[in-house]
C-alpha cells in the first residue's frame, strides 16, 4: 500500500498515512486531487479508481471516506477488506465509532492503524491481537495505579526490600 487517507464528506482530511517517501508538496497535491475526484463520484459507482499509475480503493462509512492507494497488480477487493477491518478495529476500540471520535482522538486512530498496518503491509489481521497490543500500551494510562503498584512490588522484591 502506498498511502491511506481519511477525509470527510466536506473534503476535510482526517487522517493521512504515507508509506512511500513523498515531499510535502506532492502529498498535498495528491490528497487534494483524490479528495476532489472521489467526492465527485456517485454512490453506486465502483469502489476502484485508476489514478496515475495507481489503483485507488475507497469506501464511504457514514460521513467519512476511507481511501487507499495500491499498485495496479494488487488485489482491489482485499484492499477494500483492509479498510473494512480498520473500521471494525476503530469501532471496537471507540465503541460504535463516529467521525468525531476520529477527529478528537486522531492520534489513537493512528496508533491502531500502526498496529494493523506496518510499512504499508498488513501486520496483524487478527482483531483481537491488534486491540490487545493497543490496550497494552494504553494500559499504562488506564490502570496506572496497578502498574505503579506492580512495579513497586517488582522493584521491592528485586532490589530494595525496604520501604520506598
**What does the binding site for other proteins look like in residue numbers (CB under 8 A)?**
12-19, 21-24, 28, 44-53, 75-78, 80-81, 85, 93-95, 101, 103-108, 110-111, 114-115, 118-119, 121-129, 133, 135-138, 140-142, 144, 148, 151, 155, 158-159
Residue among 63 and 129 whose Cβ is closer to other proteins: 129
In the chain, the largest separation of any two C-alpha atoms, in whole Å, equals 70
Q: Where are the beta strands (DSSP E) in the chain?
A: 3-8, 13-18, 48-51, 54-61, 64-71, 117-118, 121-122
Q: How far is the CB of 114 from other proteins (least distance, A)?
A: 6
Residue among 9 and 12 whose Cβ is closer to other proteins: 12
Whether 110 contacts 122, CB under 8 Å? no
Cα angle 46, 49, 54; round to 5: 150
Q: How far is the CB of 65 from other proteins (least distance, A)?
A: 15
Amino acid at each position: 500500500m502506498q498511502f491511506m487517507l481519511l477525509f470527510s464528506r466536506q473534503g476535510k482530511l482526517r487522517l493521512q498515512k504515507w508509506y512511500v517517501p513523498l515531499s510535502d508538496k506532492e502529498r498535498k497535491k495528491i490528497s487534494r486531487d483524490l479528495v476532489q475526484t472521489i467526492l465527485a463520484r456517485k454512490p453506486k459507482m465502483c469502489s476502484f479508481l485508476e489514478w496515475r499509475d495507481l489503483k485507488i480503493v475507497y469506501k464511504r462509512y457514514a460521513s467519512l471516506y476511507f481511501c487507499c492507494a495500491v499498485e495496479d497488480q494488487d488485489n482491489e477487493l482485499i484492499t477494500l477488506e483492509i479498510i473494512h477491518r480498520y473500521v471494525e478495529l476503530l469501532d471496537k476500540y471507540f465503541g460504535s465509532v463516529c467521525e468525531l471520535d476520529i477527529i478528537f482522538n486522531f492520534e489513537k486512530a493512528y496508533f491502531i492503524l500502526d498496529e494493523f498496518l506496518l510499512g504499508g503491509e498488513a501486520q496483524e489481521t487478527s482483531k483481537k491481537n491488534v486491540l490487545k497490543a493497543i490496550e497494552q500500551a494504553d494500559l499504562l494510562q488506564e490502570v496506572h495505579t496497578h502498574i505503579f503498584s506492580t512495579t513497586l512490588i517488582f522493584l521491592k522484591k528485586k532490589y530494595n526490600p525496604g520501604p520506598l
